[in-house]
């Protein structure tokens, strides 16, 4: 057997291996991404020092297993608890740009509506790559999580996690599809009484959970409503969600309970709800969706079905 024979054997064995390696998905780091506002974001490597410019983005990064790469967080970034230990960079509407620059991030992730244009421009002028997101409903939040995972170099993990979130969303939709849809009044502020229209995550969650948002067609995104108007419309369910905590929550519920002509009061269907599960466009919106569905449709055996 000559050398030519051994070379043929070597090629026959190794070529499939080489072909497989070349086809294997990998991330060399350098890449260009287009964000939600159409801006081009160039990254030389997978980012290792990341600054999320809103509490929801902090939650997403931790969900993707990237908490160790987060070098600073905005005010009220309280979930998960480890995030509270990170350096503060101001509120998402009033960023401390100097603090962000001092952290030497190789990526900042912001929101179109939440962060001021002036702060965003200052970060860009400082040479910090900035990727902006803009989800408008629950499904787009899931897509945004996948996008952030791709930008941060954890595409596979992000895909697996978002597939799970999508499955949970679809399961709730399927379980409530044939149920009667009660009218829900969602109170997001105690004084004055405020609610939401159809252009909100809250509305999308109520819809997906099998309810009808009583104020979906209001012209203002966060309308103020007098108690008399709520009584006149007679919602089937009243859900109180507010950032205020403690006794005021219970007091608000007691106040509604005096209006016995309202179906929600008559049928004892007034509930308190954790606002973070509705307000923050992160993976926890799916927790909020499942919790909302349990309140709107208690007739469904959720413990057996949400598995």
Helix (H) or strand (E) holding 237: strand 237-242
- pLDDT at res. 8: 45
Residues 243 and 296 both lie in one domain: yes
Residue 288 belongs to some domain of the structure:
yes
Return the bridge partners of 239, or none: 186, 271
Mean pLDDT computed over 56-77: 98
Side-chain half-sphere CA neighbours of 141 within 13 A: 26
- 106 within a domain of the structure (yes/no): yes
Identify the residue whose tokens are 């609610």: 195
Phi and psi at 156, nearest 5°, equal -60, -45
Q: How confident is the model at residue 157 (pLDDT cuts 50, 70, 90)?
A: very high
Same domain, residue pair 297 and 215: yes
Choose the final residue of a domain: 80, 100, 134.
134
- Number of CB atoms found within 10 A of residue 11's CB: 11
Find the mean pLDDT for residues 128-155: 97
Overall average pLDDT of the 96-100 stretch: 97
Nearest by Cα to 230 from 255, 205, 262: 262
Q: Is residue 2 part of a domain?
A: no
Residues 115 and 199 in one domain: no
Is 216 part of a structural domain of the chain? yes
Rounded distance, CA 201 to CA 240, Å?
Answer: 15
Residue 1 has pLDDT above 90, yes or no: no
Domain that holds residue 230: 178-305
pLDDT, position 185: 98
d(CA 11, CA 61): 44
Residues 182 and 299 in one domain: yes
Clarify whether residues 216 and 297 are in a common domain. yes
Domain identity same for 222 and 288: yes
Q: Are residues 184 and 288 in the same domain?
A: yes
Residue 158 lies in a domain: no
- Cis bond before residue 220 (omega within 30° of 0): no
Distance CA 281, CA 297 (A): 23
Confidence at 190, pLDDT banded by 50, 70, 90? confident
pLDDT tens per residue, range 252-278: 899 999 999 999 999 999 999 999 999
- Euclidean distance between CA atoms 218 and 196, whole angstroms: 8
Number of domains in the chain: 2
Tens of pLDDT, residues 16-39: 443 443 334 444 458 999 999 999
Tell me the pLDDT tens digit for each residue of 203-226. Answer: 999 999 999 999 999 999 999 999
Residue 129 shares a structural domain with residue 193: no
| End residue of a domain, out of 70, 101, 134 | 134
Angstrom CA distances, 228 to 231, 241, 250, stand at: 5, 19, 20
Residue 16 lies in a domain: no
Let me know whether 182 and 99 are in one domain.
no
Per-residue pLDDT at 11 exceeds 60: no
Looking at residue 67, which CATH number applies to its domain?
A: 3.40.50.1980
CA distance 80 to 65: 11
One domain for residues 105 and 186: no
| Residue 269 belongs to a domain | yes
Is 301 a domain residue?
yes
CA 204 to chain centre: 12
- The last residue of one of the domains, among 134, 162, 191, is 134
Taking 70 as the threshold, does the pLDDT of residue 246 lie above it? Answer: no
204 and 290 co-located in one domain: yes
Cα four-point dihedral sign 172, 177, 178, 183: positive
pLDDT of 244 reads 62
For residues 108 and 213, state if they share a domain.
Answer: no
Is residue 135 pLDDT above 60, yes or no?
Answer: yes
State the burial class of residue 206 (Cβ atoms within 10 Å of its Cβ: 0-12, 13-18, 19+).
buried
């Amino acid at each position: 057997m000559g050398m030519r024979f051994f070379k043929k054997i070597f090629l026959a064995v190794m070529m499939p291996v080489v072909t497989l390696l070349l086809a294997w998905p990998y991330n060399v780091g350098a890449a260009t991404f287009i964000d939600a506002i159409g801006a081009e974001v160039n990254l030389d490597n997978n980012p290792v020092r990341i600054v999320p410019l809103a509490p929801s983005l902090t939650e997403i990064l931790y969900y993707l297993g990237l908490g160790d790469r987060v070098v600073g967080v905005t005010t009220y970034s309280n979930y998960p608890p480890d995030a509270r230990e990170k350096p503060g960079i101001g509120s998402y509407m009033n960023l401390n740009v100097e603090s962000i620059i001092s952290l030497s991030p190789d990526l900042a992730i912001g929101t179109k509506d939440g962060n001021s244009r002036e702060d965003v421009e200052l970060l860009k002028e400082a040479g910090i790559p900035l990727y902006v997101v803009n989800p408008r409903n629950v499904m787009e939040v899931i897509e945004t999580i996948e996008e952030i995972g791709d930008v941060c170099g954890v595409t596979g993990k992000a895909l697996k996690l978002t597939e799970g979130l999508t499955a949970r969303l679809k399961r709730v939709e399927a379980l409530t599809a044939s149920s009667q849809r009660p009218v829900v009044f969602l109170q997001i502020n105690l004084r004055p009484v405020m609610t939401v229209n159809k252009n909100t995550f809250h509305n999308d969650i109520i819809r997906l959970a099998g309810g009808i948002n009583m104020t979906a067609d209001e012209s203002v995104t966060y309308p103020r409503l007098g108690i008399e108007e709520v009584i006149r419309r007679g919602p089937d369910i009243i859900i109180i969600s507010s950032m205020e905590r403690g006794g005021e929550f219970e007091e608000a519920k007691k106040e509604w309970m005096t209006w016995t002509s309202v179906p929600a009061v008559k049928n004892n269907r007034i509930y308190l709800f954790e606002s973070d599960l509705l307000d923050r466009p992160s993976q926890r919106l799916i927790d909020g969706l499942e919790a909302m569905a349990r309140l709107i449709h208690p007739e469904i055996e959720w413990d057996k079905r949400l598995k």
